[in-house]
Amino acid sequence: MHKIIRKERFTNDISLMEVEAPFVARKIKPGQFIVLRLHENGERIPLTMFECNPETGTVAFVFMKVGKSTYELDTLGEGDSILDIIGPMGKPAKIDTYGTVVCVGGGVGTPEVLPVADALRKAGNEVIIIAGYRTKNLVILEDDLRACCDELKICTDDGSYCTKGFTTTLLQELIDSKQSIDLVHTVGPVIMMKLVCDITRPHGIKTLVSLNPIMLDATGMCGSCRVNVGGQMQLACVDGPEFDGHEVDFDDLMNRLNMFKKEEQEALERYKKAHPEAFPGEKGEGKI
Ligand code: NAD
């Protein structure tokens, strides 16, 4: 069992959890993820590492309530326990000295950018972070992001905070301003990562994307997280999750991500009927 020692709610749907997992905390690196299971009948939930502390033996992750299992996870609080946590899973982010690196994070993808940006900066890079959120209330971890980079640029889709626009707007502006960029690292909605790659490709800027396709066992056995990279079938769980974005077939990835939407919605509705207490203040259909 893995005790939850900290829970911080950022928004109604997005929270941070820090859990005891000493063996994982000793080894996990930026870009890697853990898989947790809440109970015997629980689904396996892959979550990217946000922070780890080998001294206290704890690992932290940030999650958003999107489906049955993440709603269930959110019913737990400090002092509660999670049945299983396995990790580190996947390959670490490629940390090297590139020069100037731009890390582009979208929404709940921004927490994963943080440890990678921090490691890249410690490796001697100049790091610029572009973080995009739908609206002001969803801006998370601003101070933490600022602390691990040389420059933080924030945007909101509706202009309610900082620059109005998407992360891609700020990236395009940066490139147009003749800023020399040696590497882009991006995590967030798949459509955003695809568009980031479309912007960097003509300029020959190496672009690494961290993918989170549907994943079941996360050990390379089931094949559900396969992605087409440069015409080759790759498994995000063991070959990734980081890939050369210019080689990724994003349209295929988006199709695969929608494969179980109906079943995911039905599972959430069933859970909602059985556990109305997990949806305080919500009336009508569960959102996903
Ligand atoms: P969101 O829909 O609120 O979008 C966040 C930001 O991404 C937007 O504010 C915008 O700046 C940018 N964006 C979105 N759509 C865009 C478009 N069409 N063009 C240009 N920019 C666009 O995101 P969310 O609801 O917080 O979801 C975050 C996503 O990140 C989820 O899809 C989640 O699966 C993914 N994620 C990935 C990882 C990982 O490890 N790979 C980790 C956490 C989250």
Domain region containing 194: 100-257
Q: 95 in a domain, yes or no?
A: no
To which residue do tokens 């050369």 refer?
A: 244
CA 40–ligand 1 middle distance (angstroms):
31
CA 248–ligand 1 middle distance (angstroms):
17
Tally of domains in the chain: 2
Q: Which residues line ligand 1 (CB under 6 A)?
A: 48, 106-109, 112, 132-134, 155, 157, 166-168, 187-189, 191-192, 195, 210-212, 241
pTM passes above 0.85:
yes
Q: Would you state the structure tokens that stand for residue 6, as one six-digit string?
A: 């900290």
Q: Are residues 26 and 155 both part of a single domain?
A: no
Q: 179 in a domain, yes or no?
A: yes
To the nearest whole percent, how much of the chain has pLDDT over 90?
A: 82
Closest-lying ligand 1 atom to the alpha carbon of residue 165: 11
Burial class, 238, CB count within 10 angstroms (exposed 0-12 / middle 13-18 / buried 19+): middle
Q: Are residues 49 and 125 both part of a single domain?
A: no
Q: 59 in a domain, yes or no?
A: yes
Give pLDDT tens digits for 65-80: 999 999 999 999 999 9
Q: How far apart are CA 280 and CA 273, in angstroms?
A: 13
Q: Are residues 64 and 178 both part of a single domain?
A: no
Phi, psi (deg, nearest 5) at residue 92: -65, 160
Orientation angle between helical segments 190-200 and 167-176, nearest 10 degrees: 10
Q: Are residues 68 and 194 both part of a single domain?
A: no
Give pLDDT tens digits for 7-32: 999 998 999 999 999 999 999 999 99
CA 23–ligand 1 middle distance (angstroms):
31
Q: Are residues 197 and 231 both part of a single domain?
A: yes
Which helix (H) or strand (E) segment holds residue 33: the answer is strand 33-37
CATH value at residue 7: 2.40.30.10
